[in-house]
Structure 1
């Protein structure tokens, strides 16, 4: 028997006149939604893709990973540079007060 994991599944969901619809429980579980939550709808010429913010963030990180320099955090490197500049500027300002 073939596995259904990773295969696209189609569902028919009723949409009310006001646009509301209910996601089936198994779909919510598959998305990792427990109780209330938010989803991201991406519309293109082929239809709509529904995902979660967590999934979108994981995908963005995976896409950016090959460009991450040597496993270092670009944010940590940026903050370190800013701290060094601030310390340098502070030393320069103190020197100007003396002269």
Structure 2
């Protein structure tokens, strides 16, 4: 679903009520903003944790499961 939102002169934007309700932030809450080469991703904190856990599982299965190996593989995957 794509919806257009406006940003006020002071940088605030409002997410449509139906999106806030689906995300569970209808009464207020926190979203994590991730800037990517393709645009911006908004995630709830729970979604961000699940995303990070998925990345950790992906890299933890590799034979060299050190922090240095994780960071090097993450850097390769992200193109940084």
TM-score (norm 1): 0.52
Structure with the higher helix share, 1 or 2: 1
Q: Deviations over 1:10-52 (max 9, x none)?
A: 1111111111111111111221213111111111221111111
Structure with the higher strand share, 1 or 2: 2
Cα distance in 2 between the residues matched to 1:28 and 1:18: 21
Larger radius of gyration: 1
Aligned length: 60
Structure 1: runs of 5 or more not aligned = 1-8, 69-99
Root-mean-square deviation (Å): 1.8
Provide the secondary structure at the position in 1 that maps to 2:25. coil
1:29 to 16, 21, 27: 21
1:40 to 32, 35, 46: 32
Report deviation, 1:63.
Answer: 3.0
Cα distance in 2 between the residues matched to 1:61 and 1:44: 19
Structure 2: runs of 5 or more not aligned = 62-80
Cα distance in 1 between the residues matched to 2:12 and 2:22: 20
Query: Greater RCO between the two (CA within 8 Å, min separation 6)?
Result: 2
TM-score (norm 2): 0.63
